[in-house]
Amino acid sequence: MNGGGTDVTLSLDALRTLARDTLLRVGLAPDHADAVTETMVAGERDGCASHGIYRLLVAASSIERGVVVPDAVPVVSEPARALVRVDGGGGFAQLAFARGLPGLVAKARDFGIAALALNNVVHFAALWPEVELLADQGLVALAFTPSHAWVAPAGGTRPVFGTNPIAFGWPRPGRAPFVFDFATSMVARGEIELHRRAGRPVPDDWGYDADGNPTTDAAAVLAGAMRTFGGHKGSALAAMVELIAGPLIGDMTSAESIAADGGRGGSPIGGELILAVDPAGFLGDAVAAELDRAEAMFASIEDQGARLPSSRRHAARARSLVEGVTIPRALYDDILAIGAG
């Protein structure tokens, strides 16, 4: 660790130790602490501050307020031949995903397509680590999860939807997969929380205050309603995520999640849907040729100076592996204070 000023620089190993020790200190079981730590370290390493080590504050608060079951034992079942379900038992989603992953991959290879439902989990994280893992194994992947009702539908000003991210992964032979992962709100709520912590205003199209007026005050948006991205298009996608990762898998909508939280201010409770497609299912021996055709599309994007999603993330990853990560001292101090009383 170094830095006596406004920032603190940590190696990834030091960051991992900080995260794991903090989670164990607030009572998270070791298998959960390992899984949760890896997702936070990956976020910070890849320059995703809203879902990096800042999430220690969020996860610890969910544990301390009794929102998450700290020693939950995920239970894996097979509701149909191409489907895997993991009942997370009220624990964090990361361990449930890890338990369901082998079955999802095996079924996608057997049937060409398979789905994994995580039920009864608490979700504070980014989805890209999950689709990246699947794409690294040659599968095309999609992931969806509702959150808490914080987002107004296009044309309204009162929260109905969660920030409802959609993540996609596509395998690229010999290179990092094509991955995108974004909220269907203008930005993730975590980004607005970071603006509030830093005392920075937000753009006036990110959300409304509690009276339904556009505002640049981050705290007012957090108390009011966020906006969907892309107007009615983001609104429809947010509704889709509610449906396919809510009622379709027998789990909560964002409105039900925030009601279940009962004002405790914890992370969203509910489900996640992950789809995996094996390109060989449609293509057989033609997989390599078809993945090459996809490369032509990626080249035509980059050849004109546009960037692919994840390129910023991978550049941050390469930097962090050498230089470590730098976080605000105020965040570091808040993390050290977790569990202190």
Give the residues lining the site for ligand PYC (CB under 6 A).
Answer: 50, 123-124, 147, 163, 183, 188-190, 267-268
The nearer residue to ligand PYC, 170 or 206, going by C-beta atoms, is 206
Judged by CB under 6 A, which of 310, 324, 325, 338 binds ligand NDP? 310
Q: Scanning the structure block, which residue is given the tokens 């007026």? A: 213
Q: C-alpha dihedral over 207, 263, 181, 125, to 10 degrees?
A: 140
Nearest approach, Cβ of residue 112 and ligand PYC (Å): 31
Binding range to ligand NDP, per CB under 6 A, among 65-73, 288-296, 308-316, 317-325: 308-316
Under the binding rule (CB under 6 A), the answer on residue 36 touching ligand NDP is: no
Write out the binding residues for ligand NDP, residues 216-275 only, by CB under 6 A. 268
Catalytic residue (one of 44, 130, 132, 191) = 191
Q: Which of 181, 242, 251, 256 binds ligand NDP (CB under 6 A)?
A: 181
Least distance CB 330 / ligand NDP (angstroms): 21
Q: Nearest-CA neighbor of 3 among 335, 233, 332, 340?
A: 332
Tokens standing for residue 192: 């607005």
Q: Residue 86 region, left (φ>0) first, then alpha (ψ -120 to 50), else beta?
A: beta
2 binds, among ligand PYC, ligand NDP, none (CB under 5 to 8 A by kind): none
50 a catalytic residue: yes
Judge whether 191 counts as a catalytic residue.
yes
Counting residues that bind ligand NDP (by CB under 6 A) gives 27
209: which 2 tokens? 């205050």
324: left (phi over 0), alpha (psi -120 to 50) or beta: left
Select which of 51, 123, 148, 195 is catalytic: 51
At 182, list the tokens: 């974004």
* Binding region for ligand NDP (CB under 6 A) out of 7-15, 79-87, 187-195, 203-211: 187-195
**Among 223, 120, 230, 110, CA closest to 166:** 230
> By CB under 6 A, which span of 33-41, 56-64, 99-107, 307-315 interacts with ligand NDP?
307-315
Active-site residue flag, 32:
no
| Conformation bin of residue 305: beta by default, left when phi > 0, alpha when psi is -120 to 50 | left
**Beta pairing partners, 101:** none
DSSP calls for 150-196? -EEPTT--S--B----EEEEEEETTEEEEEEEE-SBSS-HHHHHHHH
For ligand NDP, which residue of 92, 97, 128, 170 counts as binding (CB under 6 A)? 128
Cβ atoms of 76 and 85 closer than 8 Å:
yes
Buried residues in 35-63 as b, exposed as e (16+ CB within 10 A): bbbbbbbbbbbbbbbbbbbbbbbbbbbbb
Give residues with Cβ within 8 angstroms of 148, minimum separation 6.
162, 254, 257, 258, 261, 268
From the CB of 287, what's the least distance to ligand PYC, in Å?
34
Contact mark string toward ligand NDP, 48..87, x via CB under 6 A: x-xx------------------------------------
From the list ligand PYC, ligand NDP, none, partner contacted by residue 307 (C-beta under 5 to 8 A by kind): ligand NDP
One of 69, 313, 325, 335 touching ligand NDP (CB under 6 A): 313
Residues 148-177 that bind ligand NDP (CB under 6 A): 163, 165, 167
Active-site residue numbers? 50-51, 191
| Residues near ligand NDP, by CB under 6 A | 48, 50-51, 123, 125-128, 145, 147, 163, 165, 167, 180-183, 187-188, 191, 268, 307, 309-313
